[in-house]
Chains A and B, each alone.
Chain A
């Protein structure tokens, strides 16, 4: 299992390769990369600053990863999340999942992202021509997480 929080960019292909390497039971690799958009709520976004809660973040991501392993028949999961200053187009988050068959990898990848969006302690502050502002949580993210039955 890989859970990392870092300021540096990540290499999605290298992370997926590392999960797959040496595991001949892997028949599917799914990767998701979230990136910074240059517009939010109708305003241009010039930079994004990502803050987190060191200590809790690692535990929260580890718990999400563990729950994904319980729910889905997967071989490996990697979660990498960046913090600090980012610009439009920059990758923010990577989730990579390997499994024997594609269904489990697709499902687990989506599950990890849906839970990460509502449970992992990260906050985005964006700079726009109108000034700085904290990004507000979206009801759509709560709805997405709620589609997974509670355990």
Chain B
């Protein structure tokens, strides 16, 4: 059927910037979600990967998260097709 999803799993695009990009060894990835979720839930599942993920995303580490280019809190909703970016506190200017 045209327009039907190719699979039952939907994805969001994760973006990693600056120190986090270097620590994770990736600037972006496709991340599967099986239902609408939240910023905090995605952070928790990345943290559970261990290694640099656990080190950089530990509770209390200052990490900024943006959904579709807007800064978002942990309880912000994330839907299929969204772009969710993780980065350190900004240091421009």
Contact = CB atoms under 8 A, between A and B. Distances in A.
A123 B69 contact: no
Interface of B: 15, 17-19, 62, 66, 69-71, 85, 87-93
Q: Which 3 A-B pairs have the closest CB atoms?
A: A122-B92, A137-B89, A123-B18
A119 B69 CA distance: 11
B30 to A, nearest CB: 18
A117 B92 contact: yes
Nearest to B18: A123
Contacts, number: 71
A29 interface: no
A134 B18 contact: yes
Contacts of A77: none
Nearest to B21: A51
A122 B17 CA distance: 10
A137 B69 contact: no
B80 to A, nearest CB: 19
28 contacts: A34-B93, A51-B17, A51-B18, A53-B66, A53-B85, A53-B87, A56-B66, A59-B69, A60-B69, A81-B93, A92-B92, A113-B93, A116-B92, A117-B90, A117-B92, A119-B71, A120-B93, A121-B66, A121-B90, A122-B91, A123-B88, A124-B91, A125-B18, A134-B91, A136-B91, A137-B62, A137-B89, A137-B90
